[in-house]
């Protein structure tokens, strides 16, 4: 396949990002094999099987949602204007009593549709019934790293079942990888975290969990246990095994030397819209983490608080909240933001050698975006358009592993009308609170 005459976003490991105009992207099977200046049709050699006209479009690495709970799209808008404690205890955890495999699958299909149409080609998920999420991901054509989630309060059988699902998922499909998914340091015992770390080391897997989500959680951990959540991750072996830590807004100065020791295998995923919405006192300390050599990726978290799975929105929020946090408009530049969104989030997915950059040898996970709408024009700097003006609807065509999954703003893999109708017909069952009970109680 050939994507012809397209502009290409180049994201170097360091320094300024740039856009190369009039390029041809050559794709063979699932990979990019070459990127060359657009040649005359007359001097082309072997004719490609399929040509995608990229005229007027900008090719960017397919986005990665580096922390989400995809089926929670079914609870969009059903837990608003609440503090974090009420959000968990009065809405989300009582609602999750209603989860069934079918409802999770319907939610995951909706989530995959939303993400692909927005140019998100990989998501890093953390949820229950992960086998159903895998099925939706495989059907939709998206790439996913899935962590079957567990609470210690659910009992040893539930923990073992989550471990088993992680093992089963890995062999399902080349686009699916699996991680271990303890919920958080305050909902999983040290003993279960140790078991998770042992299994991660023996199976060569990563651990995806919430830790130090807020400064209040860190304070509660210090008061109850005398250690920070990051210290819990160290003493239970989670950091040594390799962890994707969601949020980390409550990471303290004394945690940084610890994280620095495991920087080669640690990522923190930042989802700032959630921190603003829940009125949290801190956002992820990205500047300090990067100084300690720790990778950072960008995610949305679940749509029960983020409302969308729009990673463009998350990217913009990262740039804005980091400038505000550091009181420094010159920090988190366009290039640094785009690097975090591409290379950083690819590493968060554990796929730093596979995706995140458009270059020969990488997986052909590509989004073609259109900057011709009024909210982009005139384009003095396409990098600024990507960070500050993009809307999900500006995404025109999307490839994952060399397959076209969105063509001219339409999904090619699923019937969107059916996906939407299924979600609509089941939505009320997920938010029903008449059953009573809850899957967990929030008391960090």
CB of residue 73 to Zn ion, shortest distance in Å? 14
Judged by beta carbon, residue 17 or residue 439, the one nearer Zn ion is 439
State the minimum distance, in angstroms, from the CB of residue 60 to Zn ion.
25
Name which position in 24, 282, 301, 313 contacts Zn ion (CB under 5 A). Answer: 301
- Alpha-carbon dihedral of residues 134, 139, 141, 142, nearest 10 degrees? -30
Measured CA to CA, the distance from residue 78 to residue 323 in angstroms comes to 31
Q: Which is nearer to Zn ion, 89 or 335 (CB)?
A: 89
Q: Which is nearer to Zn ion, 141 or 285 (CB)?
A: 285
Residue with tokens 């983490």: 289
Question: Stretches 151-159, 201-209, 298-306, 327-335: which one binds Zn ion (CB under 5 A)?
Answer: 298-306
What DSSP state is assigned to residue 13? Answer: S
- Terminal Cα distance for the chain, rounded: 52
Interface of this chain with Zn ion, residues 239 to 278, rule: CB under 5 A: 246
Largest CA distance in the chain: 73
In the complex, the smallest distance separating the C-beta of residue 412 from Zn ion, rounded to whole angstroms, is 30
Least CB distance to Zn ion at residue 24 (A): 40
Minimum gap (Å) between residue 210 Cβ and Zn ion:
6
Q: Residue count at the site for Zn ion (CB under 5 A)? A: 2
Give yes or no for residue 96 binding Zn ion (CB under 5 A). no
Residue of minimal Cβ distance to Zn ion:
301
User: Which residues are registered as beta bridge partners of 68?
Assistant: 125
CB nearer to Zn ion: pick between 246 and 367: 246
Nearer to Zn ion, 120 or 246 (CB): 246
Least Å distance, CB 183 to Zn ion, is: 9
What lies within 8 Å, CB to CB, of 260 at 6+ separation is: 292, 293, 294
Q: Vertex 230, ends 255 and 180: CA angle to 5°?
A: 145
Stretch that binds Zn ion, among 33-41, 200-208, 296-304, 308-316 (CB under 5 A): 296-304
Query: Cα Rg for the chain, rounded, in angstroms?
Result: 21
Strand partners, 276: none
- Options 34-42, 80-88, 195-203, 293-301: segment touching Zn ion (CB under 5 A): 293-301
Backbone angles phi and psi of 324, in degrees to 5: -65, -45
Query: Do residues 161 and 190 lie in contact, with contact meaning Cβ atoms separated by under 8 Å?
Result: no
Query: In this chain, which stretch among 136-144, 182-190, 301-309, 382-390 interacts with Zn ion, using CB under 5 A?
Result: 301-309
- Min dist. Cβ of residue 146 to Zn ion (A): 14
CB 44 within 8 A of CB 380: no
Q: Which CB atom, from 24 or from 275, has the smaller least distance to Zn ion?
A: 275
Instruction: Say if strands 51-53 and 31-37 run parallel, antiparallel, or are unpaired.
Output: unpaired
User: What is the token pair recorded at 320?
Assistant: 């804005």
Minimum CB distance to Zn ion, residue 53 (Å) = 39
User: How buried is residue 364: exposed, middle or buried, by Cβ count under 10 Å (0-12/13-18/19+)?
Assistant: buried
Of residues 301 and 394, the one with the C-beta less far from Zn ion: 301
Query: Which residue, 4 or 69, has its beta carbon nearer to Zn ion?
Result: 69
Q: Which residues bind Zn ion (CB under 5 A)?
A: 246, 301
């Amino acid at each position: 396949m050939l994507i012809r005459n397209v502009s290409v976003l180049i994201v170097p490991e360091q320094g300024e990002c740039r856009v190369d105009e009039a390029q041809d992207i050559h794709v063979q099977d699932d990979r990019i094999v070459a990127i060359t200046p657009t040649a005359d049709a007359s001097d082309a050699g072997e004719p490609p099987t399929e040509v995608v006209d990229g005229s007027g479009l900008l090719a960017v690495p397919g986005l990665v949602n580096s922390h989400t709970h995809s089926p929670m799209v079914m609870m969009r808008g059903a837990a608003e204007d609440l503090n974090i404690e009420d959000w968990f205890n009065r809405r989300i955890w009582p609602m999750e009593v209603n989860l069934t495999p079918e409802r999770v699958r319907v939610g995951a299909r909706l989530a995959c549709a939303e993400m692909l149409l927005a140019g998100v080609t990989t998501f890093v998920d953390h949820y229950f019934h992960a086998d159903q999420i895998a099925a939706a991901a495989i059907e939709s054509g998206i790439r996913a790293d899935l962590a079957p989630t567990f609470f210690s309060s659910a009992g040893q059988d539930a923990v073992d079942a989550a471990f088993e699902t992680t093992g089963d998922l890995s062999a399902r499909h080349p686009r699916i990888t699996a991680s271990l998914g303890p919920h958080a340091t305050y909902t999983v015992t040290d003993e279960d975290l140790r078991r998770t770390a042992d299994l991660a080391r023996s199976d060569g897997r990563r651990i995806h969990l919430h830790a130090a989500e807020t400064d209040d959680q860190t304070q509660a951990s210090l008061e109850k246990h005398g250690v920070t959540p990051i210290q819990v991750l160290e003493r239970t072996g989670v950091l040594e095994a390799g962890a994707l830590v969601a949020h980390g807004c409550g990471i303290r100065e004394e945690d940084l030397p610890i994280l620095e020791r495991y920087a080669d295998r640690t990522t923190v995923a930042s989802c700032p819209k959630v921190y603003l919405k829940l009125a949290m006192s801190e956002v992820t300390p990205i500047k300090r983490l990067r100084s300690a050599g720790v990778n950072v990726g960008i995610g949305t978290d679940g749509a029960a608080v983020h409302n969308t799975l729009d990673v463009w929105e998350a990217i913009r929020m990262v740039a804005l909240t980091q400038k505000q946090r550091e009181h420094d408009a010159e920090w988190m530049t366009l290039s640094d933001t785009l690097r975090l969104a591409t290379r950083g989030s690819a590493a968060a997915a554990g796929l730093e050698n596979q995706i995140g950059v458009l270059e020969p040898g990488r997986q052909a996970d590509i989004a073609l975006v259109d900057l011709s709408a009024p909210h982009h024009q005139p384009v003095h700097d396409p990098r600024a358009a990507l960070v500050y003006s993009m809307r999900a609807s500006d995404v025109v065509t999307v490839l994952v592993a060399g397959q076209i999954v969105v063509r001219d703003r339409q999904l090619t893999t699923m019937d969107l009308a059916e996906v939407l109708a299924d979600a609509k017909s089941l939505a009320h069952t997920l938010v029903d609170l008449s059953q009573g009970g809850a899957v967990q109680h929030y008391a960090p």
